[in-house]
Structure 1
């Protein structure tokens, strides 16, 4: 074997050693190292086609069904858009406004309002959402809906071009423009099947006990677009102070969703407790706010908050009840959003251990018969959806997760040692290569015959 072959062989061996040295072994039962938690809280990740809403109703850009759109909105500003609707389908225009994590927001002052008006100016639906925890910036989301059920406003059951207005109130403490995400979902009309609402007694039933047992790792997404699937069970995650994590759960006709979010006890005491530390919200498949918990305090001991929905039934939309009943009126992916206050950083050096306990209960029912493909429109579930929630996609985040509460310091120490070992090995390789090049002239001088003038060693491009 000549010197060039030796160098190449050595390079391969050292590379293999570096790979082995930089892959940490499992830490804790069945969990490997997560990505380093150090760094800023992740913001909401918008997705969609760029659109520019107008300041006036005239010339408002058209939003098409099933597509996402991205804009931005300032404090005290209104943005106008339009949607073309028929006379038979339900319509839901959602808006998500996402202040950056850590922004200076004020409770019940910062907010977002969405309004849908018929061609003649009649208000068909609206929502008005406010930040409910001072100093805790999190995505505000809800929709304005147009219903065509008997008893709804007659002018809102006509075909035509409807106006969508998204407004952010004046007087915000956050001077920045907020990213804005918009989406129109059109629900096909129903031609038969069960259209009754859930029995009234089910609206106030006691939630079942949360699941127990070993937690499975599932890294939360940053938005509705990358929300991670969950099913009944216990799930572990890690969240940075100031972040909001999104998850999605398949809920069928006749089923209800109960969820609990828990923050683990801190290893060290903080300087002071946090009043609005942990919040949990549920959104329906059209991104309408379905249920929310009040933010709970954290003082270094375990804290938890929970939400519960009623069984999903088509007729809930016309029930004489609170919004949480009316918004539980179609099957599909329901979303969980967990927010942790940036002030929780008083108790944790890095990421915060988070546990989710999710239960979907109730026997699935057939539901109504749609005159169209409701699943394709975003209303309903497939067997593949249920399997995905139970098993979860095989992603890098999940494959490299750790159980909540694992000491990341041990993982970083493994990384530092790995880099040191790798650096020493590379220095050795450099010395090996230099020695080989120095030996090459001597080998040429000693070589007999025509080969005397042949050059050995690595090519000049090495």
Structure 2
């Protein structure tokens, strides 16, 4: 069968004119409204307080004074209650490789306590980075069994380790290998040469990011970015389910949501029993540390297997860039053929297989993975579904979008706390290497169409010519991505601090889309919350002067919502009482895959039956995705073949 490579090629947008400037995107100066951090989540800042931090910072102050100010700024920006602590080294005696202590325990955010703790620090001694990292890992809480948290060690140093043992890079690698939830970020404050190389090594070995801070202002900016990325990490949800390396002994999964992890170039197998008529929708989402090393062809491959060697369907999602990792989702469905005679139309044992493809030099850490499994039963006997909708039509690239004044909103950290939006214009802020998540209710017969606009931002002093990217992806209610590989939209745009814009959308929702041939049409077969993700590339941290960059999602939902998937379904009268305001992150809209609860128009549309066109020829300009009729083993993605 045809695989689905997603390269997310950067598209150059000629003649882009945006009336989008940084001042117009200033969000309210409030602490971000996030869901509470998962149990076992937290951050400990490890601050260099060695003798060199008493030196001048080039702005008339000292390095330790700049560090105190930066720590104060970051704790003010962290969400209320986020578990945060402070460890210092070199602060208690002129010499000594055991000079490291916990100045403020990791606990619910105590802004005043952290500021008092850092204010008391006076630089004195040596630089025992390796020992301090080891102690810092023990300072952090551990997540309870069966859950995935996010534990961050945030190192700030103006030099290299002066104690040599234990070697800091080796310690970082050991700590990072102890669990998928721990990573180490490093900020180099006015460092160069061996000191910078060592800090970069620590960050890479610790599955984290290195941030360069050549002056006091950039130290504050980079510390704030690193701290907020930690606090705004993906909120996982699900039951633990440990997949096997082969089909033998694969755990059985019922419909629901699960958590596992996956290593580079590893496969994970899961088993389930399906009937002969229902559609089964699977998704796998991997969540690397933001900005972790990836290649543009690094991929997440999902397939549904049947029997010994049969493959019902297969999908591959690629990062499509080399700046740094972001969440990556692959969705795959088993859709019984209308004839009911296909190899995968039988009742029996099927297997979901998830494979992570990684190039040499890419992040070697295990990545946490979230799995979903939904079953759609056939329509009630005698119900004729409406005709399929394989074209973008009114929701194409030239669609009219709202032009109202933007309203402030805070995006979620992932699928589970995505912020509900409705038709309108919204305003948010995004960090380099961050992905913001939203969801929009879309009914039968409707489609999602939106633009994402990235702000005009002041650039850092000494800014050369690096280019980052802005990106977006749209997902169905069952988390299948449907925004790449279309001839209508592009998922990425170059970003260099100047205004940039992306357009994205879906075809209209129709039950019979599942029988179409294009991979961006097939999954759009059920109403519910459609998710949209907005990403800023990691390299933007070298471009923008402000810690965050303004972003405007401009959302439309074209089409009249129908009361159901059947032909001739009544039109739902829109509820305009709530206006365009977005709901809270945990609100469940009237979508969610059920029937609409809205008031119906008394007279339904004409009773038009579904017209099934055999051999419909649609020029999609890319490989189609369709169920395999044979049980062969010809998937070219297998065995490392690209």
TM over 0.5: yes
Cα deviation for residue 80 of structure 1 reads: 0.7
Q: Which residue of 2 aligns with 1:177?
A: 366
- State whether residues 390 and 507 of structure 2, in contact with CA within 8 Å, keep that contact through their aligned partners in structure 1: no
Q: Which residue of 2 aligns with 1:228?
A: 419
**In structure 2, how many angstroms separate the alpha carbons of the residues matched to 1:176 and 1:30?**
35
**In structure 1, how many angstroms separate the alpha carbons of the residues matched to 2:285 and 2:579?**
24
**In structure 2, how many angstroms separate the alpha carbons of the residues matched to 1:133 and 1:147?**
31
Which one is further off, 199-208 or 311-320? 199-208
- Of 503, 524, 529, 1:328 maps to 524
The Cα offsets for residues 86-145 of structure 1, whole Å up to 9 and x where unpaired, read as: 11210011101111101011101x111111112454211111111111123111112221
Q: Which residue of 2 aligns with 1:102?
A: 291
Matched, 1:186 2:351: no
Q: Which residue of 1 aligns with 2:464?
A: 272
Aligned-partner SS, 2:483: strand
- How has the CA–CA distance of structure 1 residues 309 and 188 changed in structure 2, closer, same or farther, with 3 Å as cutoff? same
Q: Which residue of 2 aligns with 1:43?
A: 233
The Cα offsets for residues 372-430 of structure 1, whole Å up to 9 and x where unpaired, read as: xxxxxxxxxx999998894433579xxxxxxxxxxxxxxxxxxxxxxxxxxxxxxxxxx
Please show how residues 106-125 of structure 1 align to structure 2 within 5 Å: 106-108=295-297, 110-119=298-307, 121-125=309-313
Which one is further off, 76-85 or 35-44? 35-44
Question: Larger relative CO (CA 8 A, sep 6+): 1 or 2?
Answer: 1
- State whether residues 300 and 318 of structure 2, in contact with CA within 8 Å, keep that contact through their aligned partners in structure 1: yes
Q: Which residue of 1 aligns with 2:482?
A: 290
Q: Which residue of 2 aligns with 1:436?
A: none
Q: Which residue of 2 aligns with 1:351?
A: 548
- State whether residues 47 and 68 of structure 1, in contact with CA within 8 Å, keep that contact through their aligned partners in structure 2: yes
Which one is further off, 239-248 or 343-352? 343-352
Which one is further off, 218-227 or 142-151? 142-151
- State whether residues 311 and 328 of structure 1, in contact with CA within 8 Å, keep that contact through their aligned partners in structure 2: yes
Q: Which residue of 2 aligns with 1:82?
A: 271
- State whether residues 471 and 534 of structure 2, in contact with CA within 8 Å, keep that contact through their aligned partners in structure 1: yes
**In structure 2, how many angstroms separate the alpha carbons of the residues matched to 1:148 and 1:59?**
26
Aligned-partner SS, 2:524: coil
- Of 534, 538, 554, 1:342 maps to 538
- State whether residues 455 and 500 of structure 2, in contact with CA within 8 Å, keep that contact through their aligned partners in structure 1: yes
**In structure 1, how many angstroms separate the alpha carbons of the residues matched to 2:425 and 2:391?**
30
**In structure 1, how many angstroms separate the alpha carbons of the residues matched to 2:368 and 2:527?**
29
Which one is further off, 36-45 or 68-77? 36-45
Matched, 1:52 2:248: no
**In structure 2, how many angstroms separate the alpha carbons of the residues matched to 1:227 and 1:385?**
22
- State whether residues 230 and 389 of structure 1, in contact with CA within 8 Å, keep that contact through their aligned partners in structure 2: no
- State whether residues 249 and 389 of structure 1, in contact with CA within 8 Å, keep that contact through their aligned partners in structure 2: no
Normalising by structure 1, report the TM-score. 0.71
Q: Which protein is richer in helix relative to its size?
A: 1
Who wins on radius of gyration, i.e. which is larger? 1
- State whether residues 120 and 155 of structure 1, in contact with CA within 8 Å, keep that contact through their aligned partners in structure 2: no
The Cα offsets for residues 35-89 of structure 1, whole Å up to 9 and x where unpaired, read as: 4162242333321111111111111111111x21111111111111111211121
Q: Which residue of 2 aligns with 1:167?
A: 355
Cα deviation for residue 255 of structure 1 reads: 0.9
**In structure 2, how many angstroms separate the alpha carbons of the residues matched to 1:29 and 1:40?**
17
Which one is further off, 308-317 or 90-99? 308-317
- State whether residues 44 and 100 of structure 1, in contact with CA within 8 Å, keep that contact through their aligned partners in structure 2: no
Please show how residues 138-157 of structure 1 align to structure 2 within 5 Å: 138-151=326-339, 154-157=342-345
- How has the CA–CA distance of structure 1 residues 247 and 274 changed in structure 2, closer, same or farther, with 3 Å as cutoff? farther
Q: How many residues align?
A: 356
Aligned-partner SS, 1:280: strand
Q: Which residue of 2 aligns with 1:246?
A: 437
Gapped regions of structure 2 (runs ≥ 5): 1-23, 33-76, 79-223, 485-489, 587-642
- How has the CA–CA distance of structure 1 residues 137 and 199 changed in structure 2, closer, same or farther, with 3 Å as cutoff? closer
**In structure 2, how many angstroms separate the alpha carbons of the residues matched to 1:152 and 1:111?**
32
Aligned-partner SS, 1:256: coil
Please show how residues 437-448 of structure 1 align to structure 2 within 5 Å: none
Gapped regions of structure 1 (runs ≥ 5): 1-26, 371-381, 397-462
Q: Which residue of 1 aligns with 2:399?
A: 208
- State whether residues 91 and 145 of structure 1, in contact with CA within 8 Å, keep that contact through their aligned partners in structure 2: yes
- State whether residues 254 and 373 of structure 2, in contact with CA within 8 Å, keep that contact through their aligned partners in structure 1: yes
